[in-house]
């Protein structure tokens, strides 16, 4: 079963707070994940901060079309 993202907040740097519909919540640090052509522009914090939760697609997205799978985000979740 694919975990559903219930809520998301930008924290700082390349860190996000995520809450999933099963009650799991915590931080995800994506600093080491911004490689490849699609994620290159997100290496600037100005662009990274534009992230939003796309509830219809059940993922986080950026204006350049980049997104990350909820399964990947769930696996990277840490509690602060």
**Do the beta carbons of residue 51 and residue 16 sit within 8 Å?**
yes
Distance between CA 20 and CA 40 in Å, rounded? 27
* pLDDT per residue as tens digits for the range 33-53: 999 999 999 999 999 999 999
CATH superfamily, region 7-76: NE0471-like N-terminal domain (3.30.2020.10)
Dump pLDDT digits (tens) for 51-68.
999 999 999 999 999 999
Question: Which stretches within the chain are classed as H helix?
Answer: 45-48, 70-76
Here the tokens at position 61 are: 């997205």
Quote the pLDDT of residue 4: 96
User: Looking at the whole model, is its pTM more than 0.95?
Assistant: no
Domain ranges of the chain: 7-76
Q: Which two three-digit tokens encode residue 29?
A: 């640090």
pLDDT score recorded for residue 78: 87
């Amino acid at each position: 079963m694919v975990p559903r993202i219930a809520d998301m907040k930008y924290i700082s740097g390349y860190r996000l707070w995520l809450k999933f519909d099963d009650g799991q919540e915590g931080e995800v640090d994506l600093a080491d994940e911004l490689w490849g052509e699609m994620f290159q522009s997100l290496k600037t914090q100005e662009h990274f901060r534009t992230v939003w939760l796309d509830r219809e697609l059940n993922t986080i997205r950026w204006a350049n079309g980049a997104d990350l799978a909820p399964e990947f985000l769930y696996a990277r979740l840490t509690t602060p």
